[in-house]
Structures are given as structure tokens and as C-alpha cells.
A and B are shown apart, each in its own frame.
Chain A
């Protein structure tokens, strides 16, 4: 007992003796800040600073000439009467829902196919992955060609299949957005790789147990594959939605929001207000509104996820 008390006292003494802000600790602290300073400076100058500035600007009217004029919440209330805001939001949700659902389904199906043991599996995986590494502008120009109503590949194929009046695609107000959604699926190779990794991590014994119980292929798919893949699907839904709600570059190049505002998406409308109309205050307010929309959709997705996303290590009712 005495020895233990003596040891405790010694430890306490050591603990008391080691200075909290001793020279070595201060040196380590300085080195810490020195090493993270490049990132920290970049973060403040190019990310945090502009974000704060954008927030403040959203309460002003500013066309880059003269000083910003404080207008309070006027830019935010303007959105409620701005018909282009409503058009852009609806178009963006249309594009987002369409491209994400189609993208998830196609990428998952591709991953299922490419998970089969077939001759040339590596080659197929490479071929399907390649489109996702091609730059956005190159993809846009390629698909402009494919979608051309007169000589594009797609309509030539449709005509060969007996369709007499194929859609106008990017020159048709009704078909322009479906065309962009179809184009977005072309880059499904990126998510396909993530699904492949998920598929390969499903324990084989689950399928064996199901086979012993007499489950067929379809049952195994719904009862084992989908639940085990649900976290990956959920991840791709979240990131896919966030990305598609900010779609901009390819739409700017391919249609510039036309025809008849059919492809006027939120990102493009924001860009127009900032860099064509030079309404910096309103554009900043639009960007914050988009942030709120994305956060809201993400929160809803997380709330709904509890009903269908299955985490293998999770024990129901246990919080730790």
C-alpha cells in the first residue's frame, strides 16, 4: 500500500513537474502551425474568406462598380417572385432526380455484370470506367454530335429501328433535359467501381447459407445483395444528388439553358446573374439558397436512410 502510494505520488510529481508550455511543447506547437500554414492560408484566402464574403454580399446590391449597397433580405425575398428562380429549381430537381436514379441503377447493374467471372473481365471493367475520366468539355462536344437530330448517331439508330420522327433532343424544349440525363449516365463508371468494391466485400457464406435454404438468384439479390450494398447505394445517392444539383459546365457548353429555358439549371442561372448581369448580391443569395436546398435534401435522405440502409456492424437500439 505504501509502495503504491509512493508510486502514485511519484507519478503525480512527474505529472506536476512536466511543464504544460515548456520549450519543447511550444516548439512542437510552432512546428505544427508552420506545417499546416500553407493549407490554412489557402483555406482562409480561397475558401472560408470568399464564403463569408459571399454571405455578406447576399444582403447587398453590387454590380462590381461602386460600393455594395445594403438591402437586407431583399435578395432573398426577390427569389419568391423571380420566375427564373422557380424554373431553374424545377429543372435542377428534374435533372437531379433523373440522373441520380438512372445513374445509380445503371452503375449498380454494370457492377453486378462486371462482378461475374468472365473472360476479359479486366478489359470490360477498364472500358466501362474510361468515360468517367474524360474531361467535361470533351464529353459535351461528343454528345452534341450524338444528339444532333439530323445526323447524330442516336437518331440514325432510331431511324434504322423504324422510328420515323425521332426526338429533336437538344433543340427540342421537351427532349433537351432527358438528353442531358442520358448523357450524365455515360460517366457511371466512376460509381461502378465503388459498387464493385462493395459487391466484393459481401461475405460469400451468406450466399451459401441462402442457397442451402433454397433461395433462387432473384431472392439472393433482394435479400442479400441489396441490403448489404445499401450503405454504398446510400453514399452514391448523397454524393450523386449533391453533384447533380450543381451541374453547370456541360449544360453551359451544350445548350446554355435553352431551348426556351428547358435546360436552365440552378448553377447556370447563378452564373448568369453573377457574370453576365453582374448582380453579385443576388447571385450570392442564390448560392446560399442552393446550399440550404442541398442541406435539406441531404438531411431528408439521412432521415429516410434509417428505414432502408443496413449497416452490418450495427446493433438495433444500441447507440455505442
Chain B
């Protein structure tokens, strides 16, 4: 625990607006004795009983726990982080399809971490209470194994009725007729407001003028920064006036120390092996990776070369990012360098917030990705759910998907839980009010709505493009190839692949 005494812990707990029950749960996890617990409650001003009468013990995230200290014994009741009654009242969609007249079972495949799967189960219980004839069988698979598992099931004709779809898989699945188009279902619902979806959230799931997958989130890349490192280096926190030039300069100033105690200003240098390279790293400088049709290579234009050389200076001149050896040491120890306080700034999706809330034991916040000389841009990415073409309970599947990804469903799942970046604009206010959202969370929606988020690679050729580009860029990072030569070699290597996108 990074807090030096109960006072500082109390300040943090009050900032998060936790109730008495939650504070007691955190104190127990920290191994506080009765006296210390009493002092903590007093410091939080919690002399009176809490008004939250939820039967479920819902402790705050373990951001208050030091990663190296074993937590106290878990309470014997449910250990879900979330209150099942929170935002459970809807209003839920009208459901033009109508409930089935006899019991049907639908299977829904998710890729949640264990904590969030608890929330999923809470949603499913409430859904089944509202729709007694629909039995929901939820499957949960780690994200890294999800695609292999369900593609194999698709080959065997055994897909679940509804399943999670990452944006990078969507076009392939749609092209191969794995999911049903949803426009006819949407047309029947009088209260389905397509305009409620944030602008970047839908295009990746559309094809031939139809919508095939409904997104549940679309989050921008934002800067997470470690306030403690900034304070120690005497650097002001990032704000709207920051440009990428200032960012680079500060990355150098924030770097300190050596060996295993070294603090890095930024997490790494970008490379063409990353499908999300263009929006945050190239577009601000007026450069591009591929054109809009993803069939023409543009990184070899003068502005592209100059931009990549500019980014490499973080490594070659400022030494502000981990070297390959240092990166290997961090990966091998399975360390998230930012979460353990080794990196001052990272660019990551807004979906990284829950992990940081849970694991970081330092003060942190978020800021918009700084603007470049040409424009302000960042990547956006998300995921959704589709109905399998092989589903035998299509109507029941639609009822579930419609409610799950409705405004009320997104408030329940991604708003109040602080998971963040719901695809529906109407769910965002609930996220801002969530006690789990970062203090400056409004920059997330601003980034999504106002920044240029185009340019990411998402066609089915993308894995082969990055497979070609990544190893060539490794030689640049190893100092064995110049940026210009690498960019030229990549162009030659990927030309036959991106030519397929012209068909």
C-alpha cells in the first residue's frame, strides 16, 4: 500500500465516495486491526451507519491494496465488486419480437475477466427474471483463447447463439456469413435509436449497407500518466495545451534511474507491426500508413519517414523508452510496467482503466493524447456481439442482444461499473458518475467525438501485413537498419498482400 497512513488512505476513499461497508471491506483486505479500522472510519467521517443496504458486500477495487501484500480473507458473501441492483431499473427496450411462449435456452459466449464476469452473471439473472421463458447459458473464455476456440466451434457448426466479436475479426466473420444481419430486427423495434451510437463505433461492423454486429464499446486511445513520477520530476501534469513536441520533451525529463529501478518516460516506440499505428502516431503529423481502401502503401511518403524518425528519437536520443533487453525483462516477469510504476506515461485504450484502478498503487489520471502539428488524432477500437447464423433461437437471441446492448444495458454493464466507453452516447453520463471512473474521464468522450480516429488497419489482410512489417522493424529497434530502409522494405513486402484489398 503506497499510502503512508490512515489519513492519506481516508482521503483517497472519500474521493471515491465509498460507503461504510466498502471501507470496512477494504480495511479487512489490508489486514487492519480493529483500532486502525476505527481510526480509518473516523478519518473518512463514517461515524454514522451507511445508507447502502445492499445485501451484497461490494468492496471498492483493490487499488488500495499493495500488489505485494496478501489480502485479508475474503468475506464469505458474494465478492462481486458491483451491486446487482445498481442501475437495474432500466427503462428496458419494448421488445417488439415478443417473448417465446415456451422455455428456450440461448447460449452467450463472453471473453471477460473474472471480476467483470460477475457483473455479467448479475445482468443475466435480471434478464431471466424479466423474461422467464428465456434461459441464458453464459460461457466465458479468456480473450487470448477466444478466437481459436470459437472458430473451431464454427467449423463444427456449434457456435453459441450470441458471441463476442472483436473489431479486428468482424469483417472476416461477416464476409464468411457467420453472423446474421440485424437490420430487419432493428427495423421492428420502435425504440431502437441508431443515432445514439457514437460515430466511430459502427463502421467496423457494417458491410454491404447492413449492420451485422452491435458494438458494446468503442474507446479511444488516451494517455494514462503517473502523477507521482510527474511530481518527483517537477513536471506539470498534461493538459489541453500539450503538443506532441512537449510530450516528447517531457518524456525525456521524466526518465530517471538505472537498471531495475529505471523509470521510463514512455512505454515504447511505435512501429508498423502495430495495426493501430496510424491514428495516434502518424495522423497528427499528416502522415499515413495505408490509404482509406487499405490497398495503397503511404508510409514511404516523406512525411511518413520523417514522422517515424521523429518517434525513434525517444529511443535513440532521449533513451526514454525501454530497450529491447529492458522490455524483455518486463515481459518475462509478466509486469505491466505502468501499473507497477515504472513508466510515467502510456497510450492505451480507455478499457485499460479497470486494470489500472485495481492494481496501481500510485496517484494517476488520464489526459487526451496530445495534438500534433497537423491535427489531434488517436485510435479507437471496440468490440460487439453478433447472432450466429446457425442459431436455432434467433428471436430469443435478438431479445437478449437488444436489451444487453440497449442504453439501459450499457449503463448497467459499462457505465456504472466504470468499465467505460459504452458505444451508446446516452450511457456515457452514467460512466462519468461512476466511482470507478478516473477523475478526468470526460476527456475520453471528447477524444472519441472530436479527434480523428481513422486510419487503423482492420481488413482481413491485417495479420499478414503486421507479420511482414514487425520483423523488419525489429532491425530498426536493434539499430541494424535505418528507418528509411525499413520503411522501403516493408512497402515491398506488403504490396502483394494489400493488393488483395483492391479486389
Contact = CB atoms under 8 A, between A and B. Distances in A.
B326 interface: yes
Interface stretch (A111-119, A216-224, A271-279): A271-279
Interface in A268-315: 272, 275-278
Nearest to A259: B474
B152 interface: yes
Contacts of A168: 324-325, 478
Interface stretch (B31-39, B110-118, B170-178): B170-178
B471 A275 contact: no
A225 interface: no
Nearest to A66: B176
A150 B259 contact: yes
Contacts of A277: 463-464, 467
Contacts of B323: 171
Contact of B176 (A65, A145, A150): A65
Interface centre among B152, B328, B463, B472 (most CB of A within 10 A): B328
B374 interface: no
Interface in A130-158: 141, 144-145, 148-151
Contacts of B467: 84, 272, 277
B172 A150 contact: no
A171 B322 CA distance: 12
Q: Is the interface of B mostly helix, strand, loop or mixed?
A: helix
Interface string B154-177: 110000000000000000110011
Given A64-B154, A65-B155, A65-B173, A148 B471 contact: no
Interface string A218-262: 000000000000000000000000000000000000000111110
A260 B475 contact: yes
A117 to B, nearest CB: 42
A65 B471 contact: no
Interface string B444-473: 000000000000000000011001001110
Contacts, number: 74
Contacts of B151: 63-65, 278
A132 B390 CA distance: 48
Contacts of A259: 324, 471, 474-475, 477-478
A145 B474 contact: no
A148 B328 contact: yes
B128 interface: no
Contact of B152 (A64, A144, A149, A264): A64
A250 B259 CA distance: 26
A168 B467 CA distance: 23
B480 interface: yes
A276 B470 CA distance: 15
A172 B471 contact: no
Interface string B75-118: 00000000000000000000000000000000000000000000
B335 interface: no
A63 B169 CA distance: 12
A173 interface: yes
Interface of A: 63-66, 84, 141, 144-145, 148-151, 168, 170-173, 257-261, 264, 272, 275-278
- Which 5 A-B residue pairings sit nearest by Cβ, starting from the closest? A65-B176, A171-B324, A260-B474, A149-B325, A64-B155
Given A64-B154, A65-B177, 19 more contacts: A63-B172, A63-B176, A64-B151, A65-B155, A144-B332, A150-B326, A170-B328, A171-B324, A171-B478, A173-B478, A257-B471, A259-B471, A259-B475, A259-B477, A259-B478, A260-B471, A276-B463, A277-B464, A278-B151
18 contacts: A64-B151, A64-B152, A64-B155, A65-B173, A65-B177, A66-B176, A144-B328, A149-B325, A151-B260, A168-B324, A168-B478, A171-B478, A173-B480, A257-B471, A260-B474, A260-B478, A277-B463, A277-B464
